[in-house]
Structure 1
Amino acid sequence: MRPAATVMLLHESAAVGELEVYLLRRTSSMRFAPGMHVFPGGGVDERDTDRDIRWAGPPPAEWAERLDVAEPSARALVCAAVRETFEESGVLMAGPPSGGVVADTRGEDWEADREALVGRSLSFTEFLRKRDLVLRSDLLRAWSRWITPPGETRRFDTRFFAAALPEGQQTREVGGEADRVAWMRPADAVAAWRRGDLRMLPPTVTSCAELADCGSLAAAMAARRTIFPIEPEMREVGGKLRIVVPEGVPYPQS
């Protein structure tokens, strides 16, 4: 089972001032969850455990307590969350050692570095050192932990994080694993899933419903979360094979 990290990028729309979350639709050619709408994220790279990664905010030891893992695993999960978000959306949760956050990641030089990270010719540690940046772990909030149901050929143990879109930065459609991107109100995403217009796996649906309950960016980022493993099961219900989540998990009804 591969450890993974995913990030719910959040902002409040300028038009109506309501909470929105960033979703990507995975291409139909993907081996895992093709055609599903997901948050930016992916599997941990072995180089994400690098002890030399430049870091600001709560240290790996503190994240180990929050995520209930060993310190090297905590470092890797946080690093993967930040790296994958940059790779899949162009948003970077990092800044200069003196403080602050990168204001803009557009331009040919940034795109070249992003592509090098995707192609694994550049490690995240090397990328930060090259640009004299530090990872900003304080911009992340631990949200939940979901484990792919038994029986799936590709299984992931995924930590979900929430993060506010850094001021000045913009998401961009970078292609690759996604063929569509959108900012949506979480409640609208759940409603579209209920109608059958938006395909999402249970972790994404549940997370959107939880965000909808928060109602605002400030409430979502201030939410106190208890992280525990959630492992759905595949069961036959009404003659059809369905994914069933454990009791107590607020999974919306379709």
Structure 2
Amino acid sequence: MSAIPKPASTVILIDQQGKVYLTKRPATMKFLAGHYVFPGGSIDKGDFPSTTDLFLNVNNHLSFSIAHYVAAARELFEEVGILLGCNEDGTKAVINQEDMNHYRRYLLEGKVTYLEIMREHRLVLNCDSFTYIGHKITPEPSPIRFDTRFFIVVLPEGQTPLPDAYEIEEAFWIEPEAALSAYKLGHLKMVRPTVGSLQAVMDYRDNHLLN
């Protein structure tokens, strides 16, 4: 009997020049060890909101559970320290780095949820800051399967990625074309969804960042 796919989210972080933030999973990981991937993971129980008051433009994004957006934001914060959220009027939120580090540690330890962090700092998640680019399900032969939604998110102004040492062996900014070339030469180990995401980023960059 094949494994039941777990709902999950993956988020491709890009900068204003269209470079992607690529991460390498440690060899100790059970799933995709040694592969170059983007931040992501399965949806947690705490990612399901009881109301929509912590979201902007949520009505534009109802084709699947809003928990996919929360999971994408949470994984991005857990893995590379980028906090997505804005003030209730849509303006940029300012949170000091000490608080960011504090909440990230508590989130990784399971002592707080991403939604609780948002509520405490009176933040909202703008769904329009996510660009949905696709949906993949891990093939049946795999013992671990995910039903994943993929998103592109532009690096928020004033923030710098800080990878988590446990989940990430190395991380770097790279042009998507360079990443694909390295993959074809066998220098970067990737799976098809990652390759497809790189191609989607090039389309997004050409249509949104370079015009």
3-state SS of the aligned residue for 1:19? Answer: coil
Question: Which one has the largest radius of gyration?
Answer: 1
Q: Is 1:24 the equivalent of 2:23?
A: yes
TM-score normalised by L of structure 1: 0.75
3 and 191 in structure 1: CA distance in 2 versus 1, 3 angstrom threshold: same
What secondary structure does 1:95 align onto?
coil
Which structure would you say has the larger RCO, counting Cα contacts within 8 Å and 6 or more residues apart? 2
Partners of 1:55 and 1:137 within 8 A in 2: no
In the TM superposition, what are the counterparts of 1:175-194 in structure 2 within 5 Å?
175-194=165-184
Corresponding position of 2:10: 6
| Aligned residue identity for 1:62 | N
Aligned residues: 207
CA distance in 2, matches of 1:162, 1:79: 14
Distance 1:80 1:209, change over 3 A: same
Q: Structure 1 CA distance, aligned partners of 2:155 and 2:30?
A: 29
Report SS of the residue matched to 2:179: helix
Q: Which structure's residues are more often strand, by fraction? A: 1
Query: What displacement does 1:21 show?
Result: 0.6
Residue from 78, 81, 101 that aligns with 2:72: 81
Share of identical aligned residues, percent?
33
Unaligned runs of 5+ in 2: none
Q: Which runs of 5+ in 1 are unaligned?
A: 13-17, 223-254
The 8 Å contact of residues 22 and 181 in structure 1, kept in 2 or not, is answered as: yes
The range that moved more, 124-133 or 27-36, is: 124-133
Match status 1:113 vs 2:112? no
Q: Residue in 2 aligned with 1:245? A: none
| Amino acid across the alignment from 1:5 | S
What is the CA-CA distance between 1:181 and the residue it aligns to? Answer: 0.5
Q: What's the C-alpha RMSD, in Å, of the aligned pairs?
A: 2.0
Q: Do the aligned partners of residues 130 and 164 (structure 1) sit closer, same or farther apart at CA in structure 2, a change above 3 Å counting?
A: same
Structure 2 contact 12–21 (Cα < 8 Å) conserved: yes
Residue identity matched to 1:202: R
Match of 1:93 in 2: 84
Judging changes above 3 Å, is the alpha-carbon distance between structure 1 residues 113 and 136 closer, same or farther for their aligned structure 2 residues? same
